[in-house]
Structure 1
Amino acid sequence: MKTFDEVFGRAPDVTASAPGRVNLLGEHTDYQGGFVLPTAIPQDTTVHMGRNGTAEHRVYAADLERHARFPVGANAEPHFAQYVAGALALAGVQEGVDVHVTSTVPMGAGLSSSAALEVSTLRAARELFALDLDDVRVAQIAQRAEIEFAGVNCGIMDQMASSLADARRMLRLDTRTLERETLPLPGGAQVLVIDSGVPRSLAESGYNTRRAEVEEASRLLGVHELRDVTDVQVVETLPEPLNRRARHVVTENARVLAAVNADAAAFGQLMNASHASLRDDYEVSHPKVDELVELLQTHADVFGARMTGAGFGGALVALVREGAAEAVAADVLAQYDGPGRRVVP
């Protein structure tokens, strides 16, 4: 793996990092003004950056061993560099920079590797150019970068979690107002994250389709966002599959609000219900993910488990008895025959 010095022939001017995230509850609600409950993970993305005195940006992704060059303010090819291009352009960077990226956040696992890349790029640019950007503004620019440059019509949760959360507490976030608070995990519990080994790509999956479906559901119900629907019976007036898509969003918001004061057992049951809703109503799970979730949910030391992220593969999150995560992971993975399975430590 080449260093910044080896690629660009000098030392970087600045270095910045940002973590990935795992979402405990509140999936597919952030683009409907809903409530989410993510936490950061220990894995992060690191960006080394330096001015290059030209009118183009040069990006090297060390883990992929891939290069990209593109004009200042323009989008990039290949796809990995689009997140960097969007962050730099939307932050107003007007001179060329060299960017070296390394990451321990698993890609394609639903742990927000893209948000970590966007936020770490913006943090480096903020330091290098003394940009007047607070952490919320960083998240907002990062979200726009993903939408406008990478073509993923995402909500704000991933970028807010990467910019503001830490790995020791949960971030309860109202994605409409951006009101937020940090909360402890339920007593006697810890988080376990397992990558199913089934890769997925947001831009190539049904993510944008699901977003269009709930936007149509909102329009038919005459509300700005499904966040404004509190009576789940209202969604049953919608045609298939819009009724099920809306049912997930409405019930998922309720689950996040209920989880704030829940003990570990109750929190786990809310996670189990969330997975069932994502599988059946939102239809964003995957058979191998469902298999692994079931193994977790039936383990004696697991309070609850669910898919996490946009779906169609990727990672799972479980709330397990404190101190039992390693043993639970070993037990469950011994019974699972999915591809490339691994624990995210």
Structure 2
Amino acid sequence: MGGGAIQVAIGLRVAVTCTWSTTPGNLVIETSGVLDDRLTFSGPAEVPTGSWAFLASRCLGLATSHPASLVPRRVSVTSTTPQSAGLASSAALVVAGVGAVAPDLASAEAEAASWRIEADDAGRDVGPMDYVPCVRGGVSDVTCGPRGIERVDALNWPGEATLVVVDTGLPRSTSEVIAWKRRRWEHGDPSIEAYLAGTRAVHADVRRILTDPDPDVGALGDAVSRAHDLLRDQMGVSTPLVEDCVETIMRGGAVGAKITGTGKGGCLIGLFDGPPPKQTLKSLRGLVRRAEVVTVPAPGLQRG
């Protein structure tokens, strides 16, 4: 739908390494961490389009750091980012892969190449903004248009603020939820119009808050919670478990909480003014499979 989006890099990492050889042979794509798999193919062209391995394999075609005589034999992925959970795990995977095989690409080039792999090659209905924090790190306001990213403005983060990521374990397809939202928008659903108007106001408030050299954590928390209310009430993408988690987070001392990504499952975040109480984390872990404090803002793509 275009427009601006506040993007924050968090300390959940994806690492990709590639092994090349002068001897032809099978391509092994393996992963550890959140994903745990090992797949073998006769070559990159044989990797199924809809798989996570396809995203990793498509990065190989961008290789600039190896002679053309070498062939890929192994791609190893290590990830601590929950999959299909609203934390841009696919974007992080592709960016890490692009960085591994084409380390000399400028930031904008790496972002554009990563988006093309997921949107064009994999055929997913995804926007270009998620690649910015994966490449550049930090906090930014990303403005997008029909052809991609138009502008990136660096913002500040409150030094005392802490972010808790809660993984509900409820799976959903990001591209399917985005397509569902887009159909509603195209058919003139009034709740979509209300959502867009509300999010534009929240976006403007968050940008104003984070432009300040010393951002107000409480004001930021209020805006985060307003964004969640819009996602729940106008978009209809919250769930009973997410709402239980939001209530637990807010009752446990947070200044704001919201579902992440497209919603309908996946993750949510809690914003705290300082370290979260241990009891709050314990209560959350009694509801979901994972709740942890993450580094914010985190660095982006680390090459080599």
Using the TM superposition, give the Cα deviation of residue 274 of structure 1 relative to its aligned residue in structure 2, in angstroms: 0.9
Using the TM superposition, give the Cα deviation of residue 188 of structure 1 relative to its aligned residue in structure 2, in angstroms: 4.0
* Structure 1: distance between partners of 2:248 and 2:133: 28
Work out which of the residue numbers 207, 211, 226 in structure 1 matches 2:182.
211
Distance 1:178-1:318 versus aligned 2 partners, 3 A rule: farther
SS of the aligned residue for 2:221 comes to: helix
> Which residue of structure 1 aligns with residue 213 of structure 2?
none
Distance 1:142-1:70 versus aligned 2 partners, 3 A rule: farther
What amino acid maps onto 2:203 in structure 1?
V
Q: Which has the higher contact order (CA 8 A, sep 6+)?
A: 2
> Which residue of structure 2 aligns with residue 234 of structure 1?
none
CA deviation profile, 1:146-182 (whole Å, cap 9, x unmatched): 123333210112111111113xxx2222223532222
2:95/2:135 contact within 8 Å kept = yes
Work out which of the residue numbers 103, 108, 111 in structure 1 matches 2:84.
108
SS of the aligned residue for 2:153 comes to: strand
> Which residue of structure 2 aligns with residue 96 of structure 1?
71
Aligned length: 278
Are 2:224 and 1:276 aligned? no
Unaligned runs of 5+ in 1: 1-31, 218-237
Counterparts of residues 42-191 of structure 1 (less than 5 Å)? 42-53=11-22, 54=24, 57-62=27-32, 63-69=35-41, 71-72=43-44, 76=48, 79-89=51-61, 96-97=71-72, 98-127=74-103, 133-166=105-138, 170-176=139-145, 177-186=149-158, 188-191=160-163
Using the TM superposition, give the Cα deviation of residue 68 of structure 1 relative to its aligned residue in structure 2, in angstroms: 3.8
SS of the aligned residue for 1:178 comes to: strand
> Which residue of structure 1 aligns with residue 272 of structure 2?
320
* Structure 2: distance between partners of 1:146 and 1:70: 22
Using the TM superposition, give the Cα deviation of residue 121 of structure 1 relative to its aligned residue in structure 2, in angstroms: 0.5
What amino acid maps onto 1:96 in structure 2?
V
> Which residue of structure 2 aligns with residue 25 of structure 1?
none
SS of the aligned residue for 2:163 comes to: strand
How does the TM-score come out when normalised to structure 2?
0.80
* Structure 2: distance between partners of 1:43 and 1:256: 24
* Structure 1: distance between partners of 2:77 and 2:247: 36
> Which residue of structure 1 aligns with residue 240 of structure 2?
287
> Which residue of structure 1 aligns with residue 302 of structure 2?
none
1:60/1:100 contact within 8 Å kept = yes
Work out which of the residue numbers 174, 188, 197 in structure 2 matches 1:250.
197
The percent identity for this pair of structures is: 26
Distance 1:47-1:86 versus aligned 2 partners, 3 A rule: same
Distance 1:325-1:138 versus aligned 2 partners, 3 A rule: farther
CA RMSD of aligned residues (A): 2.7
* Structure 2: distance between partners of 1:187 and 1:319: 12
* Structure 2: distance between partners of 1:191 and 1:67: 35
CA deviation profile, 1:109-160 (whole Å, cap 9, x unmatched): 2212111110010001113xxxx52112111121121123333210112111
What amino acid maps onto 1:104 in structure 2?
T
Unaligned runs of 5+ in 2: 210-215, 295-304
> Which residue of structure 2 aligns with residue 333 of structure 1?
284
1:152/1:208 contact within 8 Å kept = no
